[in-house]
Amino acid sequence: MDCIFCKIINKEIPSYKIYEDDTVYAFLDLNQEHCGHTLIVPKEHFQDIDDIPNDKLMYIFDIARKLKKELTEKLNCEGIALTQNNGFIQEVKHFHLHLLPYYKNNVQMTIEEVYDKLK
């Protein structure tokens, strides 16, 4: 399988990992829409929301709640959007949940600066 997220999970491609356990891998998106843009990806390959079992889906949202708190505290963002795409708008065909921090002021940080704050 030629899935970029599977390659990231398997450490074939480097990433800015911010969380990992037996079920999920969370890392900073290299194309940050907002400082701290994070992806939560199940380690098992599921294409989209129609493919992923409910227990895995609920677990991902539990981790999202945990990471939302961490992003809010460490990056001082004022809000976080959770986004999940399906079908033709899904760029990578491996289920993933986006956490997109929002700031009242225009916050600019490099991905390395964000990563250092989250370590």
Amino acid at 29: D
Handedness of CA 13, 60, 22, 90 (dihedral sign): negative
34: annotated active-site residue: no
Rounded alpha-carbon distances, angstroms, from residue 20 to 6, 60, 78, 90: 14, 11, 25, 23
How far is 65 from 4, CA to CA, in rounded Å?
A: 25
Catalytic hit among 34, 37, 94, 96: 96
Gap between the Cα atoms of 14 and 34, Å rounded: 20
Active site residues: 96
